[in-house]
Structure 1
């Protein structure tokens, strides 16, 4: 692979590294997510999967904040 071993940025605080294949077509990929990356990743995923109206943004922000807080505190929500 041409760019194997290069760190790629997925979002703020989230990086992935793809290592070259050892045998056959198996590729190893490592994902590093910092604690502050969760809200940005949830925002990105929500906008990739759904289209929001202007009045739905307060609920989206509440859900992102709630799940981020639960993740940081180690609470299963």
Structure 2
């Protein structure tokens, strides 16, 4: 929902080697945290930062909260 309306500023960083998506042990979690902190330090030093975190839910829960989801959906015309 965010990538399309903000495609001019959208970026994705691969956190682990070989585009691996999820850390499986403490050493990989350490690598991910170090890489995230490096990127954030370089991109946002001295600036306001907005952090977006995923919310995992079932389809039924997602549909039940559609009014709130729509209210919070980013819009370019705001």
TM-score by length of 1: 0.36
TM norm structure 2:
0.35
By relative contact order (CA 8 Å, sep 6+), the higher-ranking structure is 2
Between structures 1 and 2, the one with greater strand share:
1
